[in-house]
Structure 1
Amino acid sequence: MIKVVAVLNAKPGISREEFLHKWNVEHPILVRRLPGLRRYRQNPAIEHRKQWPFSGMAELWFDTVADVKVAYGGPEAAEVFAHEDEFLERMQWFLADEVEIDIRGENR
């Protein structure tokens, strides 16, 4: 399984509430339409006294790199990108394999 991992920054001047509404409520409606999408997770940064370098992180799972290419090459992705322009200043992303590490140190 291949994962798109994206870290993102909200547009300056947008309130946290507006950012979270656009990302957590409106955006999933569009993302769910991406062909081949297996799973989608959002990780909003928690409010903290420290200014975090990112507003959040998103993870999208696909079966193959080819499936990612199809998903992001179609009209559904154009709608996703147009919506992101409403609330995101910047997004950086990469493709990843997920490797789960046993925290107990036991061999599988």
Structure 2
Amino acid sequence: MYKLTVLYPVPADPAAFDAHYSSVHVPLVHELPGLLRLEVAHVVATPDGSTPPYHLMAELYFADIESLQASMGGPQGQAAAADMSNFSSGATMLVCAVTP
């Protein structure tokens, strides 16, 4: 199994970010072909108590790397990627192999 982890930095307006993310972006993500599961988590703290560098983390799970790449390279993936500039100043994306 593979996942795409997306780390969103703390936005200037967290309420506006959350509103757009939940009402516009998540429905786009759910349209991705081959998506097995989406997990979204708001970052609330760091282990040492310092200010977290991220506001939100999304994890998109796919059966294999080919499914992930095809999904993100297709029209639905391109639409979701294009929407990111509507609510975030940037994001860190990581492709991860999930091990048991």
TM class, shorter-chain normalised? 0.7 to 0.9
> Which residue does 2:73 correspond to in 1?
73
Name stretches of at least 5 consecutive residues in structure 2 with no aligned partner: none
Quote the offset at 1:74 in angstroms.
0.8
What's the TM-score once normalised by structure 2's chain length? 0.84
Counting matched residue pairs gives 98
Q: Secondary structure at the match of 1:51?
A: coil
> Which residue does 2:14 correspond to in 1?
16
Mean CA deviation greater in 15-24 or 60-69: 15-24
Same amino acid, percent of matched pairs: 23
Quote the offset at 1:99 in angstroms.
4.1
> Which residue does 2:54 correspond to in 1?
54
Quote the offset at 1:50 in angstroms.
4.9
Q: Secondary structure at the match of 1:55?
A: strand
| Aligned-partner residue type, residue 28 of structure 2 | L
Q: Secondary structure at the match of 1:81?
A: helix
Q: Secondary structure at the match of 2:67?
A: helix
Which of 31, 34, 52 aligns to 1:33? It is 31
Mean CA deviation greater in 34-43 or 17-26: 17-26
**Cα distance in 1 for residues equivalent to 2:22 and 2:10:** 13
